[in-house]
Amino acid sequence: MEAEVFLQGQWKNFDEIEENLTLEELQAILGAARDKEYRGQKFTAALKGIDLDEKMGNNDSSFDDVKRRAEAKLTGVSEEHLEFSSIGIAVEEE
């Protein structure tokens, strides 16, 4: 936990963190930093047409799945079409 807070760059060393912050303060700072990062990622995803709040309930998605969904939306084809094209199978639609 200290390492993650230290990476914010507001303290000189770990001793300074330990001397100046209680565990509750450390947890609050870490929680706020994580929330800020999530909001930034959510905004970036929204620009790409992905709703992260909708996907939060589905923890089975890997990064590749999310990337494929975004690419499918951007190119206007189905996810299955992208999967097939990635392994060299052409899809003909009638």
Residue found under tokens 């060299």: 88
How confident is the model over 9-28, as pLDDT tens digits? 777 777 777 787 777 888 88
How confident is the model over 25-74, as pLDDT tens digits? 888 888 888 888 888 988 888 888 888 777 665 555 677 777 878 888 88
Q: Let me know: does 30 contact 5? Beta carbons within 8 Å.
A: yes
Q: Let me know: does 20 contact 9? Beta carbons within 8 Å.
A: no
- 60-89: average pLDDT: 77
Give residue 55's pLDDT. Answer: 60
- H or E, element range at 38: helix 23-47
Length of the chain: 94
- CB within 8 A of 44, min separation 6: which ones? none
